[in-house]
Structure 1
Amino acid sequence: MSVHKTIKRVTTSALRDMKARNEKISMLTSYDYSMARVLDEAGIDVILVGDSAANVFAGFETTLPITLDNMIYHAAAVSRGTKRAMVLADLPFGEYQGSVEKAYEAAVRMMKESGAHALKLEGGVEIIDNIKKIVQAGIPVCGHLGLTPQSIYKFGDFGVRAKEEAEAEKLRTDALALQEAGCFAVVLEKIPAKLAEEVSQSLEIPTIGIGAGNGCDGQVLVVNDMLGMTKDFKPKFLRQYTNIYDIISTATAEYVADVKSKNYPNENEQY
């Protein structure tokens, strides 16, 4: 008699428990079914359907052009590829920075149509009322502070944030405000490691770092960067675990050569 092992979905409470027992949280981005399935089966805790799809999937210079419809499409594909990982989806630029009502409607649409389990929104006290409304509707929200790519034109570059005390203090205040508003976690991007560790220790909710040192409760990377698929992007915080760009390039060149030489398909590869 076969025994089927039940796969338990990673939940917001599971992430909080991981922080409590000092177990680090693993997160990677994904934008499609096939990649999501691989990451899920490899044991990733959270898959972020990032608006970074605008950069690595669609080739835009910033994350600003991606739409809610685009994000729902990607998140739905990822959701269909997972059994264990929490699927966390970004709400795109322009959908939640304005009125509370518009933010709420965008959040509800994303949850209903994508199958995602939680949403990520960039910003602090400026959008706190919008976050409260979404959380009150029963939708889990993850905050995002530090370098917030949707605000790139305000910052002017992708440099380290909160190096000066005034911005660091605002980040501390924002982090506490997000926790108070009901966020279950907060991403800290490209800030000094010491500040990230301090904020992590001050919060009851988990922090997920990207370029924020090892004092956070978890880490996230863009999967294309981690796999070495984005050839020319090599910031200090990125560790490339393989070189998919060269692997795919070599395999493609071999395929082209085999087709041209009539080596593929051979007798065993046809009907």
Structure 2
Amino acid sequence: MSAHPAPRRRVTLLDLAEKKRAGEPLVMVTAYDHPSARIVEDAGVDLVLVGDSAAMTVLGYDSTVPVTIDEMLMLTKAVRRGLSAPLLVGDLPFGSYEASDELALATAQRFVKEAGVDLVKIERGGTTVDRARALVAAGMPVVGHVGLTPQSAAALGGYRAQGRSAEAALAVIDDALALERAGCSLLVVEAVPSEVTAALMQQMRIPVIGIGAGADADGQVLVFHDLLGVHDGPTARFVKRYADVRAVAVDGVSAYAKEVRARAYPGPEHGYRMPGGEPARLAALLAARHTGS
């Protein structure tokens, strides 16, 4: 069993900028509840994202689109209670910021006030650049997201790599630069060819976190449940499994079920006993009640 790590000081945006200048890779991972937050805290990551991928990963939806603000806030508050050092990023769900600057600001304020996030994340370029600019003007650190943006996956032709042609790659780069100019503190680039990321990194001044975007980004992010193998079935090309937690969990629950059915659990060591002569007194009380009836 790993020793409990010593407490770390809180990561700041200045720390991320310094790591970028020093060429020290940034580590981001998703988390969706208090136990996973405690695990990634102890693992020493730099940033934790409560992504709207929770819609599919822990809430059972078919896409990220249905998840609500209240659902995301519930998950984000649970993660906040489990973190002390990493920066916490809250994903603004689909439909909660696109329509206007006012809507974006109202949603982002809830994530800051109710869930204690350090940054909010929004997807795409286009009008999202305006939303980012408005949030930054209101004093909120913002994370942009370009490339494959799951909230608009249907419009992008499904969950597939973006920027595969030169023209499409240029559009990804332009979106990224526009988000940087709008004042974003950080950028996530998802599912683009490594050549696109390499070209983008020549121009970006803010830290860039990749997911399925090659090794040239300033850091990487993976979904907690993907990297630990919590789910079965296929995963994206860019996912690497570092553990097989699902297999261990299934084995554990199966062993428990087997012992219950064999009456091997619980054993005497798992129960409680009445002290001294209390069992005899209880028997006498029950006998007296029976006689009295």
Q: TM-score range by the shorter chain?
A: over 0.9
Instruction: State the alpha-carbon separation in 1 of the partners of residues 191 and 261 from structure 2.
Output: 47
Instruction: State the alpha-carbon separation in 2 of the partners of residues 232 and 16 from structure 1.
Output: 37
Instruction: State the alpha-carbon separation in 1 of the partners of residues 205 and 85 from structure 2.
Output: 24
Matched with 1:78 is 79
SS at match of 1:258: helix
Percent identical residues: 38
SS at match of 1:20: helix
Q: Indicate if the aligned counterparts of 1:147 and 1:191 stay in contact, CA closer than 8 A.
A: yes
Q: Indicate if the aligned counterparts of 1:125 and 1:178 stay in contact, CA closer than 8 A.
A: no
Amino acid of the residue matched to residue 173 of structure 1?
A: D
Deviation by residue 1:212-253 (Cα, 9 ceiling, x = unmatched): 010110000111010001111332211100111111000000
Matched with 1:140 is 141
Instruction: State the alpha-carbon separation in 2 of the partners of residues 148 and 78 from structure 1.
Output: 23
Instruction: State the alpha-carbon separation in 2 of the partners of residues 26 and 63 from structure 1.
Output: 23
TM-superposed deviation, 1:265: 1.2
RMSD: 1.1
Matched with 1:33 is 34
Q: Is 1:109 matched up with 2:106?
A: no
Q: Is 1:10 matched up with 2:11?
A: yes
* Cα distance change of structure 1 residues 9 and 250 upon mapping to structure 2, 3 Å threshold: same
* Consecutive aligned runs of 4 or more in structure 1 exceeding 4 Å deviation: none
Amino acid of the residue matched to residue 26 of structure 1?
A: V
Matched with 1:67 is 68
Matched with 1:182 is 183
Structure 1 unaligned spans of 5+: none
Amino acid of the residue matched to residue 172 of structure 1?
A: I
Deviation by residue 1:168-205 (Cα, 9 ceiling, x = unmatched): 11111111111111101110000000111221231110
Matched with 1:24 is 25
Matched with 2:209 is 208
Deviation by residue 1:129-150 (Cα, 9 ceiling, x = unmatched): 2111111111110000000000
Structure 2 unaligned spans of 5+: 1-5, 273-293
TM-superposed deviation, 1:6: 6.5
Instruction: State the alpha-carbon separation in 1 of the partners of residues 191 and 152 from structure 2.
Output: 14
Instruction: State the alpha-carbon separation in 1 of the partners of residues 202 and 221 from structure 2.
Output: 18
Instruction: Give the count of matched residue pairs.
Output: 267
Instruction: State the alpha-carbon separation in 1 of the partners of residues 68 and 168 from structure 2.
Output: 29
The correspondence of residues 236-255 of structure 1 with structure 2, limited to 5 A, is 236-255=237-256
User: How high is the TM-score relative to the length of structure 2?
Assistant: 0.89
Matched with 1:195 is 196
Instruction: State the alpha-carbon separation in 1 of the partners of residues 167 and 147 from structure 2.
Output: 13
Instruction: State the alpha-carbon separation in 2 of the partners of residues 218 and 201 from structure 1.
Output: 15
Q: Is 1:223 matched up with 2:224?
A: yes
SS at match of 1:104: helix
Instruction: State the alpha-carbon separation in 1 of the partners of residues 226 and 69 from structure 2.
Output: 24
Higher alpha-carbon Rg:
2
